[in-house]
């Protein structure tokens, strides 16, 4: 069985101990992952620190060109890496077109796009003020060493979101992937690091303690984390000791509000994938749906028909649309939340009972006759389950959407776009979509508010997030 390696200072690095990575659809052991020691983490940070001045000093055009070469490598190896995503994370291979299942091939297409776009962007000098006595300019400088910690749901794409903007502006990176989905990420970094100077991009791997050692290293100049609010709070506390700036994309419990003028049939497919993309294992999926009484039964019927028509199975098999939950811990959480809702009197419209057999499969589940305050509504389920809550007045739905301490995304669905926009402006979330949900774009800033984190990724704002501003103030003669 192959034991994979980390990348440090341009070299493949093994560790004294390792752990298994398993296929969530079959239970098959896929390989072994190095369990980085504290000393190996320190060496990775040291390599990044040593490489950073020369990388930042390279002409801007050279860094852009190298990152475009990275995009070429991602494109050339897309099928190989997509296969690893499916085997290790569980999402189907799918495709990349508008009529294709948004699976692992879509993730690798996203990796290429989210490399080419930041690589093409510039951060020009900003003129803050000028008169006859002075000129004040805002320049953007790299932070230094960026520690990036990524989750298991979109393992390669979220890694790219952190790697490429950081490198584009002259930082170096130490990346720690999730212990549940390490192999694909390590292989991606191995391939793209061949294009880059040694030490510019490094990895460490293992459990939470490895991430803890990484963020606690005083040589780290910026921390970028995507994951749970609980882990984010621990990282923020560690960062505070060193006054290390952070960008945190934490958990979401996105509300979707259907307005009374919506057409259930017209919005059903968008709602379905807004909730169940990647089996609901996406931070910005719709996690709770608010529907007016008059449309409730029609919306539920449309969603039920879609849910029951989606084939579930091993993502490597042709025709698979829905895969497994990635790990047992998350599977058990989803099952607990549905069981609690059922015991409290909620109606399980479809799904609700795992099929048994190998793999962490849980059917797409719709739950009605449930209210705010139920654990399935108030906790982020992060799985293929959607609670559907009735409301009478739009004001009730707005208050319900805002009542929790999360605010990553939300959506409003209706025929009158201006009426939907008026509702959207009152939702406390970093992004509010209208007649779509989770529609991110590499040029559009993305981030949360309240307990869903702080800071922005993507586009110009994402580049600025991994820089520090420096004002050059010139006195005129």
Give CA–CA dist 441/107, Å, rounded: 13
440 confidence band (pLDDT: 50, 70, 90): very high
Beta strands in 90-231 (DSSP E): 126-130, 134-142, 145-149, 172-176, 201-203, 222-226
Parallel/antiparallel/unpaired status of strands 29-34 and 254-258 = unpaired
Residue 95: per-residue pLDDT: 74
At 183-204, the pLDDT tens digits run 999 999 999 999 999 999 999 9
Q: Do 229 and 410 touch, CB atoms closer than 8 A?
A: no
Name the strands in the sheet holding 145-149, side by side, starting at the edge strand that comes first in the sequence.
Answer: 201-203, 172-176, 145-149, 222-226, 246-249, 453-454
Query: Which residue of the set 249, 302, 380, 457 is catalytic?
Result: 249
Q: What is the pTM of this model?
A: 0.97
Average pLDDT over residues 167-184: 98
Residue 96: per-residue pLDDT: 72
For the chain, domains (ranges, CATH) are: 6-250+450-475 (3.40.605.10), 254-434 (3.40.309.10)
Average pLDDT over residues 373-401: 98
At 331-349, the pLDDT tens digits run 999 999 999 999 999 999 9
Average pLDDT over residues 143-154: 98
Residues in the chain, overall count:
477
Query: Which residue of the set 187, 283, 285, 457 is catalytic?
Result: 283
Residue 107: per-residue pLDDT: 97
Residue 296: per-residue pLDDT: 98
Place of tokens 């952190």: 162
Residue 52: per-residue pLDDT: 98
Residue 102: per-residue pLDDT: 85
Question: 137: Cβ–Cβ under 8 A, 6 or more apart, which residues?
Answer: 125, 126, 127, 128, 471, 472, 473, 474
Q: Is residue 62 among the annotated active site residues?
A: no
Average pLDDT over residues 379-406: 98
Q: Is residue 111 among the annotated active site residues?
A: no
Residue 83: per-residue pLDDT: 98
Residue 100: per-residue pLDDT: 75
Nearest residue to 110 via CA among 81, 147, 143: 81
DSSP string for residues in 76-112 = HTHHHHHHHHHHHH-----BSSTTS-BSHHHHHHHHH
Give CA–CA dist 349/455, Å, rounded: 38
At 40-93, the pLDDT tens digits run 999 999 999 999 999 999 999 999 999 999 999 999 999 999 999 999 999 999
Place of tokens 């780290």: 220
As a whole number of Å, the CA-based R_g of the chain is: 23
Burial class of 224 by CB neighbour count within 10 A (0 to 12, 13 to 18, 19+): buried
Report the share of the chain in percent with pLDDT over 70. 99
Residue 101: per-residue pLDDT: 75
Average pLDDT over residues 295-320: 96
At 94-105, the pLDDT tens digits run 877 766 778 999
Average pLDDT over residues 435-447: 98
Average pLDDT over residues 151-174: 98
Give CA–CA dist 147/173, Å, rounded: 6
């Amino acid at each position: 069985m192959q034991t994979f390696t980390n990348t440090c200072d341009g070299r493949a690095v093994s560790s004294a101990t390792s752990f298994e990575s398993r296929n969530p659809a079959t239970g098959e052991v896929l390989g072994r992952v190095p369990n980085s020691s504290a000393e190996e983490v320190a060496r990775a940070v040291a390599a990044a620190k040593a490489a950073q001045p020369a990388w930042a000093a390279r002409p801007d055009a050279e860094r852009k060109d190298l990152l475009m070469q990275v995009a070429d490598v991602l494109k050339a190896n897309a099928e190989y890496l997509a296969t690893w995503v499916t085997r290790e994370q569980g999402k189907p291979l799918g495709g990349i077109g508008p009529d294709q299942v948004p699976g692992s091939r879509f993730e690798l297409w996203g990796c290429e796009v989210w490399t080419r776009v930041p690589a093409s962007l510039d951060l020009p000098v900003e003129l803050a003020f000028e008169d006859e006595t002075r000129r004040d300019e805002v320049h953007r400088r790299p932070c230094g060493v960026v520690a990036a910690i990524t989750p298991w749901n979109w393992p390669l794409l979220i890694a790219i979101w952190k790697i490429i903007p950081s490198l584009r502006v002259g930082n170096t990176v130490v990346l720690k992937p999730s212990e549940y989905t390490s192999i694909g990420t390590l292989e991606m970094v191995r391939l793209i690091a061949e294009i880059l100077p040694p030490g510019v991009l490094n990895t460490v791997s293992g459990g939470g303690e490895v991430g803890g050692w990484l963020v606690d290293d005083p040589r780290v100049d910026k921390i970028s984390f995507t994951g749970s609010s609980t882990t984010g709070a621990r990282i923020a506390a560690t960062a505070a000791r060193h006054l290390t700036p952070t960008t945190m994309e934490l958990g979401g419990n996105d509300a979707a509000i259907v307005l009374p003028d919506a057409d259930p049939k017209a919005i059903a497919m968008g709602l379905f994938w807004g909730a169940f993309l990647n089996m609901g294992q996406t931070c910005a999926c719709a996690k709770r749906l608010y529907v007016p009484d008059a449309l409730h039964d029609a919306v539920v019927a449309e969603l039920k028909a879609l849910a029951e028509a989606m084939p579930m199975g091993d993502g490597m098999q042709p025709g698979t649309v829905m895969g497994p939950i990635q790990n047992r811990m998350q599977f058990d959480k989803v099952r607990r939340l549905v069981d609690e809702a059922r015991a409290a009197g909620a109606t399980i419209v479809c799904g609700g009972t795992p099929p048994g057999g190998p793999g962490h499969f849980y059917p797409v589940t719709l739950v009605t006759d449930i209210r705010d305050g139920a654990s399935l509504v108030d906790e982020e389920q992060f799985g293929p389950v959607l609670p559907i809550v009735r409301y009478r007045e739009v004001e009730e739905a707005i208050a319900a959407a805002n009542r929790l301490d999360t605010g990553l995304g939300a959506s409003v669905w209706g025929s009158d776009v201006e009426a939907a926009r008026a509702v959207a402006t009152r939702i406390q979330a970093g992004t509010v979509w209208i007649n779509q949900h989770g529609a991110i774009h590499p040029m559009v800033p993305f981030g949360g508010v309240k307990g869903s984190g702080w800071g922005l990724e993507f586009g110009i704002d994402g580049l600025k997030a991994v820089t520090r501003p420096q004002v050059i103030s010139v006195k005129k003669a």
